[in-house]
Structures are given as structure tokens and as C-alpha cells.
Structure 1
């Protein structure tokens, strides 16, 4: 029997290959209905969907699901990145985007980016053009120059702009692979 993580990863992989799904375990059920793959969680209802007949594949994932971290990780692993804000049903849209070679994508609360920053901080501040951590803004990846945290707000400085995020905001970022 597939674990929850394995079932979610299989669902995403088969959807990427535009295959219909039929998977289940005691907590999750995946099936194809009317040209869409749908993943349901016990007690939560629909938590992830993808249209198989769309011109460009995209996913909708429910951010209020207890399986959110597993959903986001499986999607990011396949290079599907969160775009925009959640809709009224608390679903984020994930679209395919090429990840620069040599980087590991992450979709986490911004506080996790701040924690990673401290790991790289000494090396980054000594380099003129740091490229250990990148953040996506305006549909482009930018190197992070500096991070600051004040009153629950994370200030991310890139070349050309400053981004303000609450520590609980979701953010897509990249770290260099070891």
C-alpha cells in the first residue's frame, strides 16, 4: 500500500504524463473524472486537481489541507511552481517552470527561507554577486543579497527590489545543490 507521500507523488507524476489515475489508501483517493485527475482526502474533500485536456498542464492545490506540505513538495519536485494568490476556495495554481540547473526548488513559509539564509549568510555577504539562494519575483529568478526580519515581516533584498513577506507567507525559492 502506498503511503500518503508516495500516493501524492504518483498522482503528480501520472498527471504530468497526462495519464488517468486510480489510486487509494485509507486517507487519500485519486481518480479521473471528466478529463481531470482529482485527489481527495478523507474528511477534507478535494485537495489537488489537474486537467488532462488543457493546452498547458497546471495543478490546483488546497493550501488549507493537512497534506499541503506534501502536495507542494511533490509539485515543486516536478518543476511546478505556485503562481498568484489562492482563490476563494483556498486553492493555489501551480504551473510548470524551468528550474535553473544546479538548484533545488523549495515551496515553504518564508521563515524557512530566513533559516536557510543564516546557513549561507557568511559566504553570501562576502561575494559581490551571491547566487546560493534565489527568489522568484516578476517571473524571474533573482539572487538574494540580504534578508532582514522585523516584527514578523521578512525583508528580502534582491538586485533591483525589496520584497516584504510575513513569516507565514508561502514563497518559492531555490538553493544551490550541494
Structure 2
């Protein structure tokens, strides 16, 4: 065994299904029947995985000095925890992370619901269709609206309303909403009689979001009443809910139809 791998690289190899004997001064990987194990060199089991087959998973120890790095690297490898709050409440030693596909172009988050609420509140005036997705019953659902009242967050998604305490752990996706925040330009000199901009715009009540462009109603496809439960329309966009997840269609002269009924807007 060569002591050439740092902890991050060794854990990544474990999550990639490496089952050969790898080790460094702190951790090592070993094979145990059909599972691969990640252990400290003192023999403490940090995680075990079965990555082959139709339902790959990783089981991670909740209380250890390595939990944070294993957790973050598991998320990056698209292994998501299900039942994290329940496991912690029950005092469980381990929690299972199941593999779940993540659409390209999204950043994954596993945080308290308060973090999603904060991101939504700062960016919601600029959000576009499909910018934020919430994991609901192991499916990604676009977030339409969010309200926070007395420590409870009410989220309207395309799979119904979801209710969370601000401290609940949830999994969600973000399509670069953080990068859309408008930069605050502070002039070096101010004309007499004009109020200087606040150095703390997020605490002044000032609306710093980009003003939305006027909506061209002629570009919005008309959705028939009998399709509105599964089809949503935006500017030159249609979002269709299917059994495999949402499908986004973009282009001009889109139309919606069922049977012989068709509605079209050019």
C-alpha cells in the first residue's frame, strides 16, 4: 500500500466503486462480500456501499470527524440522503444515500429549508421556469411559490404543496440563481441633493432585483383547460409533467392539443 492519496481522493475512489485495497495514514477501503467499506485505520466503519446493480446506495455514519467530507462528496456523486431528519431524531448511527439522477447545469443542495427560503426570497423576481427544483417523492419538481410564516415554509410545486419547518433538511437544485444577483454600483461622487445608496442594500428594504422585461403575451402558448394540470406555459416555453419527470420545450409557435382540440398562439 502506498501512502499517496489524500482523504478526499480516497473517498472519491470509494464512491466511484473502487474496491481494491487503498489506504493512507487515516483511512482505508476494503471489500466485504458484496459491499465496499470505508474505514478509519482504527477500524471505525465510516461508510459502506453497494454501487453495482439497479439500485446503488451508500450508507454513511452520521457522527464522525469525516461525516462532512463524506456527505459533500456523496452529493457531488449524486447520492442523496432520504430520511436524514428521521434518522437523526431516532438516534440512528447510519443514514442511507440513494443514487438519483441530477439534470445537467444544476447545483445540488442538501440544507435546512431556511436556506432555500433565503435563496428564493433574494432571487424570486428574476427566476425563470425550472430554475429551482425541489426533490419531492424522489422526483424533481419546479418551485412556483414560497411563503414563510412563524417558522413554517409553504412551497407550491408542480407536485402539490409541501410544508416544512425552517430546520427540516431538504434536497433541491439551483440553476445558477446566485450568479444572477445584480451588482450594486456605487458612484464615486454624488450630485448635491441626491440620497446616497445604502451600503447595505439587503437591509434597507430597497428592491435591487432586475426589473422583469415586459411580457410579450403573443409569445405565450394558450393551454386548454383540460391540459392545465400537466402543462404550464411561459414565454415561448412549455413545461410538461410526465411520469418520468418534467419536460421543457422551447421555441416559437408552440401549441397544445389533446384529441382534436388545439390552441395555438403565433
Report the TM-score, using the length of structure 1 for normalisation.
0.76
Asked if 1:149 is matched to 2:152, the reply is no
Kindly tell me: are residues 6 and 162 of structure 1, through their superposed partners in 2, closer, same or farther at Cα, counting changes over 3 Å?
same
Q: For residues 36-55 of structure 1, what are the structure 2 equivalents within 5 Å? A: 36-41=35-40, 45-51=44-50
Equivalences for residues 17-56 of structure 1 within 5 A: 19-41=18-40, 45-51=44-50, 56=55
C-alpha separation between the residues in 2 aligned to 1:43 and 1:170?
31
SS in 2 for 1:118: helix
Partner Cα separation in structure 1 for residue 168 and residue 20 of structure 2: 32
- Map Cα deviations across residues 62-108 of structure 1 (whole Å, 9 max, x no partner): 23334333222212222222234538633222222221232222222
Indicate if the aligned counterparts of 2:51 and 2:57 stay in contact, CA closer than 8 A: no
Secondary structure of the equivalent of 2:19? coil
Higher strand share: 1
Q: Structure 1 residues 163, 62: CA separation in 2 closer, same or farther (over 3 Å shift)? A: farther
Question: What is the Cα deviation at residue 50 of structure 1?
Answer: 0.7
Structure 1: state its 5+ residue gaps. Answer: none
Structure 2 segments unaligned to the other structure (5+ residues): 180-266
Which structure has the larger Rg? 2
Give a deviation string over 1:99-123, Cα, whole Å, max 9, x none: 1232222222323323322342221
Say if 2:60 and 2:96, in contact at 8 Å, map to a contact too.
yes
Distance 1:150 1:90 in 2: 33
Cα distance in 2 for partners of 1:52, 1:44 equals 22
1:34-53 C-alpha deviation (Å, 9 max, x unpaired): 23211124789222111366
1:104 maps onto 2:107 in alignment: yes
Q: Which residue of 1 aligns with 2:77?
A: 78
CA RMSD of aligned residues (A): 2.9
How many angstroms apart in 1 are the aligned matches of 2:52 and 2:91?
Answer: 24
Q: Distance in 2 between matches of 1:76 and 1:152?
A: 27
Cα distance in structure 1, aligned partners of 2:41 and 2:124: 42
What secondary structure is seen at the aligned counterpart in 2 of 1:123? Answer: coil
1:162 equivalent in structure 2:
161
Aligned partners of 2:98 and 2:170: how far apart in 1?
Answer: 14
Q: 1:65 to 1:158 in 2, by over 3 A?
A: farther
| Equivalent position SS for 1:81 | strand
8 Å contact from structure 1 (residues 44, 65) kept in 2: no
Residue 57 of structure 1 and its aligned partner are, at CA, apart by: 1.8
The count of corresponding residues between Structure 1 and Structure 2 is 170
Match of 2:133 in 1: 134
